[in-house]
A and B are shown apart, each in its own frame.
Chain A
């Protein structure tokens, strides 16, 4: 069956990401869909509720561009480097505009997605007690264990309006193979009302069916399939390209001021039409350096009857 889900990034974002809605661009360090974030910036979406465990550089860019009114998160740092300066400027000084925050622990936020994906009214967890987070976030509550006598912390489900999930390979309907750090990819896809799936490669459905254990996301939760090689740069895609750590360090310099940040955005985001143009601007030597050597797994035998 051929599908009408396959579209380019421009069409997917314009169809499924709306002002005032909540978005979850998935990926824990791994497979962060930067190309989708850039397209959201180019289409000038505003007042979004930006949800992500680790806002990372992608939301730092979207905050600098003025796309977000609220951030729902659990770790707002530049992983391995330091601060997210654009987020801090918005929070501490209201530049370019103020941002509201709703803060959890990693377990709290990934638990919220799990509760959202599995349609639970809330999820109990052993964390938060004794911390100053609950008094500063009324969504984190405490209940008495009905089967025992202790208190447990609970968090509400998170059901974003739209998730963007990047994967290594998918078929045209959106059956997706994922390997490496799987982060919140599956939870975000199942929790969200709409799912944009972006992939390094589009493969035939028969390829997916050779290894169903690796399919973390089945086609019927997916609304759009975007074939977008290098979608995750400067983050990485296991087996395809390494994280551009040099850029993660440079981001700290680039974002020293709002003006210097916007100069970058003019050149690399607003000044290009799509990911292909962005990739053409990157030096070939850099890309070659990011390509890993192969490390194949031993094939498994599913057997057939």
Chain B
């Protein structure tokens, strides 16, 4: 069996979640790798859309920002920033959106704004960008993040992008057109959300990981699915295809 790194595992597990013909809003780095990998494997007709306005990109190099010129040359379409958010996102044309952040909580709420207090911040982070807009409008939100106690918190310091708020009941009242958080993929396992309460639930353990290990890295009493699955290990083909996408390991590390 081929060796792989935790980042490679996360990218491969995330790529498996993408279906052919889906439209996916991609960020740079790891989500971009996951989308490109899915396109090379089970989803050749995946539509990659970037919040900079590039639609159906066909990059010839690893993009270094979401506004990289390589996302334009050879793309299906390019639109303005307002049009991207209005026509594509608010228009309900995006199936999957990848989000990241400094903190994520039990209901999938994400913080990418501030650590500490908003008026007197301890650490100022970049802020929403398109994240809150994406979270409110895509059918499925997927988060790829290392499973660490400083990132998984019971309640985010600042709610930048809505997950299921403090439970699905309150979330339903907002009538957001998006479907909310769908999966959180970490180096330890895959977590999805309880259909009734919206609480984050461990649904699959990655190779060699135990429930105790996941619980140790999660500061609240983690809900575990009745039928807990084992994540199939990355295949030779998945690993080889992924490494070819980032030969100089800019994002694979």
Contact = CB atoms under 8 A, between A and B. Distances in A.
A77 B129 CA distance: 9
A131 B161 contact: yes
B128 A182 contact: no
Nearest to B122: A92
B97 to A, nearest CB: 12
A219 B59 CA distance: 34
B128 A75 contact: yes
Nearest to B74: A295
B72 interface: yes
28 contacts: A29-B65, A73-B127, A75-B128, A75-B129, A76-B127, A77-B125, A77-B126, A77-B127, A80-B65, A92-B121, A92-B124, A103-B128, A105-B128, A105-B131, A105-B132, A106-B51, A106-B130, A107-B82, A108-B133, A114-B86, A126-B176, A127-B137, A129-B176, A130-B165, A131-B162, A181-B69, A183-B80, A184-B82
Interface in A59-105: 73-77, 79-80, 83-84, 87-88, 91-92, 103-105
B162 A130 contact: yes
Interface in A172-208: 179-187
B53 A106 contact: no
Nearest to A79: B65
B222 interface: no
The SS class assigned to the A binding surface is loop
Interface string B232-247: 0000000000000000
A106 B129 contact: yes
B4 interface: no
B113 to A, nearest CB: 7
Of the listed residues A53, A113, A183, the one surrounded by the most CB atoms of chain B closer than 10 A to its CB is A183
Contact of A105 (B69, B86, B129, B159): B129
A57 to B, nearest CB: 12
A132 B113 CA distance: 10
Interface string B34-46: 0000000000000
Interface stretch (A34-42, A220-228, A238-246): A238-246
Interface string B131-148: 111001100000000000
Nearest to B170: A130
Contacts, number: 173
Contacts of B127: 73-77, 103
B67 A106 contact: no
Contact of B67 (A28, A73, A77): A28
Contact of A133 (B54, B65, B74, B132): B132
A74 B67 contact: no
A166 interface: no
B209 interface: no
B73 interface: yes
A80 B171 contact: no
B159 A79 contact: no
Given A106-B133, A107-B85, A29 B66 contact: yes
A32 to B, nearest CB: 10
A80 B118 contact: no
Given A76-B124, A130-B136, 9 more contacts: A75-B129, A77-B127, A79-B28, A131-B159, A133-B113, A181-B72, A183-B52, A185-B80, A248-B64
A234 to B, nearest CB: 12
The SS class assigned to the B binding surface is loop
A223 B67 CA distance: 28
B205 to A, nearest CB: 31
A238 B4 CA distance: 37
A181 B69 CA distance: 8
Contacts of A132: 113, 118, 158-160
A125 interface: yes
B45 to A, nearest CB: 24
Instruction: Give 4 nearest A-B pairs by CB, closest first.
Output: A29-B67, A77-B126, A75-B129, A130-B162
Interface string B146-162: 00000000000011111
B195 interface: no
Nearest to B109: A130
A181 B54 contact: yes
Contact of B133 (A107, A114, A180): A107
Contacts of A79: 28, 65-67
Nearest to A90: B124
B81 interface: yes
